[in-house]
Amino acid sequence: MARLVFGMNQSLDGYVDHMSFGPSPALFRHFIEEAEAQAGSVYGRHVYELMRYWDDDQPDWDDDRRAFAAAWRRQPKWVVSRSLDSVGPNATLIRGDLEHAIPRLKAEHEGEIEVAGPTLAQSLTGLGLIDEYRIYLHPVVLGHGTPYFGGPRPPLRLMTHDRIGEDVIRLAYVPA
């Protein structure tokens, strides 16, 4: 059975914002390894539309960006949306009932399935479906934005922590 893992870059004050700060080269390489090992990703509409950037090669990409794009394209993607009519390559649209669709998805696969996006994670947290939370804590204070936990704050137990690169701490929590 697959495990759902929600992991995102987060500021010290609890916000996620891919435009305000991004991964260092070391952290980006870590994300490449994660993408290569994942059984797939579950996206909300907004984050999926942002990630579609990786569908088309860009002339200015370095080797790491090409490697990430290849890993992203290879893995299956499930997109949760009520407004989209279609999704791109290697993606399946999920409409409606997350309470049944996501457990079925977990039962049909092995390994880790990434949960991408705080809004989707909020819904899945409320349903008790996320198996692990990974916070990539950056030394940045935003003061506003989208919170990592935008809804229910489940009781959590710290499983591991490590440093990635010079200034990011990865904290891995499971529901307590």
Check whether 22 has a pLDDT greater than 90.
Answer: no
Whole-number pLDDT of residue 34: 97
Q: How confident is the model over 104-113, as pLDDT tens digits?
A: 999 999 999 9
CB atoms within 10 A of CB 60: 5
Give the number of C-alpha atoms closer than 13 A to the C-alpha of residue 99, restricted to the C-beta side. 3
How many domains is the chain partitioned into structurally? 1
Q: How many residues in the chain?
A: 176
Sign of the torsion angle spanned by Cα atoms 32, 36, 39, 40: positive
Find the CATH number of the domain harbouring 40: 3.40.430.10
CB proximity list for 153: less than 8 A, separation 6 or greater:
none
- 152 pLDDT band, cuts 50/70/90, is confident
Query: What span, in angstroms and rounded, lies between the C-alpha atoms of 52 and 69?
Result: 10
Query: What span, in angstroms and rounded, lies between the C-alpha atoms of 3 and 107?
Result: 9
Q: Which domain holds residue 121?
A: 3-175
Check whether 97 has a pLDDT greater than 90.
Answer: no
Residue carrying structure tokens 């959590």: 156
With 0-12 / 13-18 / 19 or more C-beta atoms within 10 angstroms meaning exposed / middle / buried, residue 153 is exposed
Check whether 2 has a pLDDT greater than 80.
Answer: yes
Residue-by-residue DSSP string for 48-62: HHHHGGGGS--TT--
Helix (H, G, I), strand (E, B) or coil at 130: coil
Whole-number pLDDT of residue 82: 92
